[in-house]
């Protein structure tokens, strides 16, 4: 288990989010008016089982406890992790003051982590993820296995991921550098569109990049 996983495992997302939002129990989940957009009818859902949150309203996005704190406090991944590590009583190793280049590298990894969380949320929750869910069902990969493998779904839109990551403080330049965006003829756009996503892990178990599988011609490709 890496540090990020350890911090997440020791915290309950419901406790953390309850500090910011009054959650109401709704079956196996909790709901509240979304803290990220203005609404009267609650469409912000926290699911303890998956330790995730999702706004089914205007935001149409979600993530884990770290992305929640990043978004709510408007801070970077490393700051949010530090804050939550203190709360969880986890001592972060090897995170001494780093050089600018190390910091840049950390941010690129953080962008990948955040992208992976977003893809994972869409695979579970999004209408558009249905095709990917069917694909996995046919291969008898259940949701627990999909979560273990870190599988996700990238929507067919051109700017879904870009908007999400910019919304939590990443710059276009970083997203280009890490390969999540491409420079097209008419501007920047998401590189992965309408794909089943799987993370490529580095030696420390962090997301170094993504593999993607087309869901089209699925009968022909098996
Ligand atoms: Zn929202």
pLDDT digits (tens, 9 = 90+) for 196-212: 999 998 878 889 999 99
**Residues for the chain: how many in total?**
222
Q: Please choose, from the candidates 47, 44, 52, the residue with its C-alpha nearest in 3D space to the C-alpha of residue 117.
A: 52
Give the pLDDT confidence score for residue 127 in this predicted structure. Answer: 86
Give the pLDDT confidence score for residue 161 in this predicted structure. Answer: 96
Cβ-based neighbours of 171, under 8 Å, separated by 6 or more: none
Cα(201) to centroid(ligand 1), Å: 30
Cα(192) to centroid(ligand 1), Å: 24
Cα(189) to centroid(ligand 1), Å: 23
Cβ-based neighbours of 103, under 8 Å, separated by 6 or more: 78
Q: If pLDDT is split at 50, 70 and 90, which confidence band does 217 have?
A: low
Give the pLDDT confidence score for residue 196 in this predicted structure. Answer: 95
Give the pLDDT confidence score for residue 136 in this predicted structure. Answer: 93
Superfamily of domain 100-222: DNA primase, catalytic core, N-terminal domain (3.90.980.10)
Cα(100) to centroid(ligand 1), Å: 34
The ranges of the chain annotated as CATH 3.90.580.10 are 1-96
Cα(33) to centroid(ligand 1), Å: 8
Question: What is the rounded average pLDDT of the residues 73-94?
Answer: 89
Give the pLDDT confidence score for residue 144 in this predicted structure. Answer: 87
Cα(61) to centroid(ligand 1), Å: 7
Let me know: does 88 contact 94? Beta carbons within 8 Å: no
Give the pLDDT confidence score for residue 96 in this predicted structure. Answer: 54
Sort strands 29-32 and 152-154 into parallel, antiparallel or unpaired: unpaired
Q: How far apart are CA 44 and CA 23, in angstroms?
A: 9
Cα(132) to centroid(ligand 1), Å: 24
pLDDT, tens digit (0-9, with 9 covering 90-100), for 94-145: 655 557 777 888 899 999 999 999 999 999 988 888 989 999 999 999 888 8
CATH architecture under which domain 1-96 falls = Alpha-Beta Complex (3.90)
Cα(113) to centroid(ligand 1), Å: 21
pLDDT, tens digit (0-9, with 9 covering 90-100), for 64-82: 999 999 999 988 888 899 9
Cβ-based neighbours of 183, under 8 Å, separated by 6 or more: 176
The full 3-state SS of 158-204, as one line of letters, equals CCHHHHHHHHCCCCHHHHHHCCCEEEECCEEEECCCCEEEEEEECCC
Q: How far apart are CA 114 and CA 126, in angstroms?
A: 17
Q: How far apart are CA 204 and CA 213, in angstroms?
A: 24
ipTM above 0.90 for this complex:
yes
Is pLDDT above 90 for 87? yes
- Using DSSP, state whether 40 is helix, strand or coil: coil
Cα(56) to centroid(ligand 1), Å: 7
Is pLDDT above 70 for 88? yes
pLDDT, tens digit (0-9, with 9 covering 90-100), for 11-51: 999 999 999 999 999 999 999 999 999 999 999 999 999 99
The ranges of the chain annotated as CATH 3.90.980.10 are 100-222
- Using DSSP, state whether 16 is helix, strand or coil: helix
Give the pLDDT confidence score for residue 61 in this predicted structure. Answer: 87
Which residues, chain by chain, have CB under 5 Å from ion ligand 1?
34, 36-37, 55, 57, 59
Give the pLDDT confidence score for residue 221 in this predicted structure. Answer: 41
Residues 116, 121, 124: CA angle, nearest 5 degrees: 125
């Amino acid at each position: 288990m890496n540090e990020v996983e350890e911090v997440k495992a020791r915290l309950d997302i419901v406790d953390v989010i309850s500090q910011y939002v009054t959650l109401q129990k709704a079956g196996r989940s909790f709901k509240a008016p979304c803290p990220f957009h203005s609404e009267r009818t609650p469409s912000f859902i926290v699911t303890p089982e998956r330790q995730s949150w999702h706004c089914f309203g205007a935001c149409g996005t979600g993530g884990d406890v770290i992305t929640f704190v990043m978004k709510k406090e408007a801070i970077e991944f490393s700051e949010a992790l530090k804050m939550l590590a203190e709360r969880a009583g986890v001592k972060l190793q090897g995170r001494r003051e780093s050089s600018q280049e190390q910091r840049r590298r950390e941010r690129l990894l953080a962008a990948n982590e955040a992208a992976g969380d977003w893809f994972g949320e869409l695979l579970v929750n999004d209408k558009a993820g249905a095709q990917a869910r069917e694909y996995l069902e046919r291969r008898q990969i259940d949701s627990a296995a999909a979560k273990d493998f870190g599988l996700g779904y990238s929507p067919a839109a051109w700017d879904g991921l870009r908007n999400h990551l910019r919304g939590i403080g990443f710059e276009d330049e970083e997203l280009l550098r890490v390969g999540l965006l491409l420079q097209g003829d008419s501007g920047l756009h998401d590189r992965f569109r309408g794909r089943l996503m799987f993370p490529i892990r580095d030696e420390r178990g962090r997301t170094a990049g993504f593999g993607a599988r087309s869901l089209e011609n699925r009968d022909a490709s098996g």
